A and B are shown apart, each in its own frame.
Chain A
Amino acid sequence: MLEINNVTKIYGEGSARVVALDRVSLKVEDGDFIAIMGPSGSGKSTFLNIIGGLDRLTSGEVILDGHRIDNLGENDLVDIRRGKIAYVFQQYHLLPSLTAMENVLLPLIFCGDGGDEQKVETILSRVGLGKRAEHKPSQLSGGEQQRVAIARALVSGPSLILADEPTGNMDQKTGNEILELFKELNQEGRSILMVTHSADIARQAKQIITLQDGRIISKAVQQSVR
């Protein structure tokens, strides 16, 4: 479903020049669950940002379902964010003044279909937050906030979820609970690209790739995973 060909991303110029990604290529099939590992600064976030159109690449191409998306205009990128690709971030990135319900409604409101609160309630129950709909982020624990963020990613029915260290701010137990959620989403057939520092978590993905200095230095398919 997703094909990344020879993607290079260079930040800055002259002495400030940083090659964040160096001719990276990767194929993601439907239903893949890929963990991305690598030291800090190796280009993991840049990689996800470019796939999702949050950042522009310097050269190479990104093909989603047979169409190039790296050179799309802003309006077409919006369409992709509204349906095919969704994000989950390490810092949750919820709007602090809105309740859980409203945060999850937001993608639907931007889509213009008014916002189906029933649907949002179902999704919130699904991520285990049925009773937290009217809470604001500040009234929720880290794990709960991340569940809200996952619900928000799910609400528009994406086929690909990009998660940048979603368990990075959590203790192991909470992190594992979040991971279980991702596994469920994967079992529903959604593809997942997840950056993680934890070998324990990476081990449960179907595939692990390791980045270093902007290059993929290893790809490992894990047979043991269910």
Chain B
Amino acid sequence: MKLYQIVAKDVMRRKRRVLYAALGVVIGTMTVVGVLTMAFAGQAKIYKQLEQYGPNLTVIPAVNNLDMKLGNLSMGTLTVGDNYIPQSELPAIRQIADSNIREVMKIDDQGNIATLAPYLYENTKVNGVSVVVVGVDPEPEKLVKSWWNVGKGDYINGPDSVLVGSLAAELLKLNVGDTILFNNNELKIAGILDETGSSDDYQIFAPLASVQKAFDKDGMISSLDIRALCNSCPVETIADSINKNIPGVTAIAVKQIAKSEMGLVDKMSNLMLALGGITLAVGLFGVVNTMMSSVHERIKDIGIMRAVGASRNQIIKVFIYEALIIGVLGGIGGYFLGTALAFAIGPLVFEGTAISFVPQYLPLALGVSIVVAVAATIYPAIRASQIRVADSFRSV
């Protein structure tokens, strides 16, 4: 039989004491795992939101501001350039976006990858009130505006059907089935959107071709949103490439927004991690305390072991083995309780977040709790191993 076997047996037979000592470790580890699991879920949620919401790139017509000068006198600025992008550029833009994504994501599939949502904005009057009409491509538009909810009626379902923003419907007194005129072109209201809190609420959405025809803007769009289905998509590269290769347009990467949102999550997880760390540090004192008293309780046993031939190092070893057992128990317990904690309060912290088991935190939990248990044991064990044997018998 080896020393560790004796320690293992000893620990098994002193279950209550050992579990009590493990409790401190469990609490510390539980907090860290709980915090991390919640932060992980929060991050996953935001990633998902970023994937759902909004484009990664916006393409608008290039405009140049020319400073007009006469001698030293500034005569103001003149905006030069078109207000529209030729629709014929779309395939070229798609080609640039898709090939870049394919390269980074190592996709072989030759199908379309990015979603391209073109827009044509026109001012018009309906029932005598000014309103913005937006020409959209219904299918990609649905993907890009995943938060849209058609409250009454249906989504755009034909070349002459339109969707009306909630406030526009109210102001213009429009209802599903009503007919409106765009420059004498008759269109029918297919549905009314629920409120979105964005400018969409004031607008009327119609199929792109119908708007182009009604306003005599054949083959023209005002802007283009590009959405890729990945977080690591090289949006900046795509933007650069579009700007270089497609004349007359400016592509802007919207990743900055994503970045700042991720930064917020990072800040939040750092804060929570700091809280977890503080809890762990406070927990460490608790663990040191239980370990101290556990060692203290066993001073007589230490004396006995020394009297029958244990060296100081062997005494310290006995307690380190014990701490390892406590650490493993504490790590496993802390992992599961921490995850349970995250399940319990995670949805309150990050509203509506789906918490899940994060298996890679188990080794982390084990590591943390073993380190804590051993660190908390070593000092009292060394101290106890230095007590004279005669004194250790007397002290009890």
Contacts and interface: CB of A to CB of B under 8 A. Distances in A.
Contacts of B13: 97
Contact of B310 (A52, A110, A117): A110
B92 interface: no
A123 B290 CA distance: 38
Interface in B1-20: 1-3, 6, 9-10, 13-14
Contacts of A49: 389-390
Interface stretch (B102-110, B221-229, B268-276, B300-308): B300-308
Nearest to A56: B388
A55 B388 CA distance: 6
A55 B393 CA distance: 11
B393 A93 contact: yes
Interface residues of B, number: 26
B309 A107 contact: yes
A110 B10 contact: no
B309 A82 contact: yes
Contact of A78 (B9, B300, B311, B388): B311
B18 to A, nearest CB: 11
A109 B2 CA distance: 6
B152 interface: no
A156 interface: yes
Contacts of A152: 308
B307 A97 contact: no
B312 interface: yes
Contact of B388 (A54, A82, A89, A109): A54
A128 B73 CA distance: 119
B127 interface: no
- In which size bucket is the chain A interface? 20 to 34
A109 B3 contact: yes
Question: In terms of DSSP, what is the predominant structure of the interface of chain B?
Answer: helix
A23 interface: no
A156 B309 contact: yes
Nearest to A74: B312
A115 interface: yes
Contacts of B304: 93-95
A4 B375 CA distance: 43
Contact of B311 (A93, A110, A117): A110
Interface string B5-37: 010011001100000000000000000000000
B146 interface: no
Interface in A49-107: 49, 52, 54-56, 74-75, 78, 81-82, 86-87, 89, 93-95, 97-98, 102, 105-107
B183 interface: no
Contact of A110 (B9, B308, B389, B393): B308
Contacts of A78: 309-311
A95 B10 contact: yes
Nearest to A116: B1
A55 B307 CA distance: 11
B1 A109 contact: yes
30 contacts: A52-B307, A54-B390, A55-B389, A56-B388, A78-B311, A81-B307, A81-B308, A81-B309, A82-B309, A86-B308, A87-B307, A87-B308, A93-B304, A93-B307, A94-B304, A95-B304, A97-B9, A98-B6, A98-B10, A102-B9, A106-B6, A106-B305, A106-B309, A107-B309, A109-B3, A110-B3, A110-B305, A110-B311, A111-B309, A115-B1
Interface of A: 46, 49, 52, 54-56, 74-75, 78, 81-82, 86-87, 89, 93-95, 97-98, 102, 105-107, 109-111, 114-115, 117, 152, 156
Given A75-B311, A95-B304, 16 more contacts: A54-B307, A54-B389, A56-B388, A81-B308, A93-B307, A95-B10, A95-B301, A97-B14, A98-B9, A102-B6, A109-B1, A109-B2, A110-B308, A110-B314, A114-B1, A115-B2
